[in-house]
Structure 1
């Protein structure tokens, strides 16, 4: 049986470049990328492939029509779910991430929908930003920072 692995989940991503860049990170770390529809682009777009360069064909990709379908199929335990929003009550440094964690990110313009976060307030994390003039960070940058922090014990850090 294979070892449990973390998964990156993008809920209704809007910008193909971010999805491509996150896919490339998933390939680098041998992680599954899970996309929840609807998307703001087509996966056939050149920009997704361009951001993932020639790695996109190697992305371990799963797609779901909705958050409800994802939950029904995967049935993740509460402790596996980690959500990221700029107003999360805890920083992404705080949790001990299980090896089979789901790292969940929302769309670039609106973040995660309320129905996804409902009852999960204690599972929502942020990346600290010291200058309040910055409203948010780029999704691909946030996802990379989060996954490397979450996998730190596995990567020898």
Structure 2
């Protein structure tokens, strides 16, 4: 596997299937998956492995005990952080993603906490939904759509 540059960050994920599916996407694209604790499941659960199928063992996985421990260890520049929320002021199609981007997603039930988003309003992006009947989309689906959009230049798009 090549040394990953773009990274996917899941902050306090709750549903093992989503984490497994996102991990599988990360393997497909040689991306690092960063998980921020606490989780709503154990990484040893069969459902994580089932969603990632036999690819889970190939996930380039890094774990941190908190958002602050992630920031302290990785020291990402503000410009490399992209936060994804339902109601971002901009869409996922607006930014030119940096190659060393951290694509940050919150937990399924609450999204990203205000403590992370405060002061980063210009770094929050949403995936458009045209029908108001739909309140939200599945995290794994959103993450996959965002990842492929962010990587378009590298994938020949």
Query: Normalized against structure 1, the TM-score is what?
Result: 0.98
For 1:13, the equivalent position in structure 2 comes to 13
For 2:36, the equivalent position in structure 1 comes to 36
C-alpha change, 1:79 and 1:130, in structure 2 (3 Å) is same
Q: Distance in 2 between matches of 1:3 and 1:139?
A: 25
**Is structure 2 residue 49 aligned with structure 1 residue 49?**
yes
Runs of 4 or more, structure 1, over 4 Å off, are none
Give ranges in structure 2 of 5+ residues lacking alignment: none
C-alpha RMSD of matched pairs (Å): 1.0
Give ranges in structure 1 of 5+ residues lacking alignment: none
For 2:107, the equivalent position in structure 1 comes to 107
Is the contact made by 1:4 and 1:99 (CA closer than 8 Å) also made in structure 2? no
Deviation at 1:3, TM superposition (A): 6.5
Deviation at 1:145, TM superposition (A): 0.2
Question: What does residue range 1-157 of structure 1 map to in structure 2 within 5 Å?
Answer: 5-157=5-157
Give the length in aligned residue pairs.
Answer: 156
Is the contact made by 1:26 and 1:33 (CA closer than 8 Å) also made in structure 2? yes
Deviation at 1:133, TM superposition (A): 1.0
Deviation at 1:98, TM superposition (A): 0.5
Is the contact made by 1:92 and 1:146 (CA closer than 8 Å) also made in structure 2? yes
